[in-house]
Structure 1
């Protein structure tokens, strides 16, 4: 599976968890000791963000990383590949 898709999915899951907890990006940034701009990058699945920053956010959301077998990308996720 493509590493870009993996971080994109992780960012989407982080955003969903944040919203489910009723947190703003600024509140999550405060909890994780990061900037709001870093939270934005994480939620977009940016590859330039360190694994340490992702770990801080996951900790602030009371979550952890687990390795699970990858699933095939959805049609929405591969939409731009053939254009």
Structure 2
């Protein structure tokens, strides 16, 4: 069984400022280097996640260490 990456230790997934859109490629083994990547960083929370695609998960991380699923992000943007 492959070792899953410790996402808490992957500092590059959390931006220094603003927000980062994260992608998880479910087709790759969890221990591969590109299993989880940053798609882009944004200063303002007016970003949209890419449309859902089979085999991929998207979420948003912020500079305060919070992580938002697609549904949580939609609720966050309403506030």
Which of 1 and 2 has greater Rg? 1
Structure with greater strand share of residues: 2
Same fold (TM over 0.5): no
* TM value normalised by structure 2: 0.22
Structure with greater helix share of residues: 1
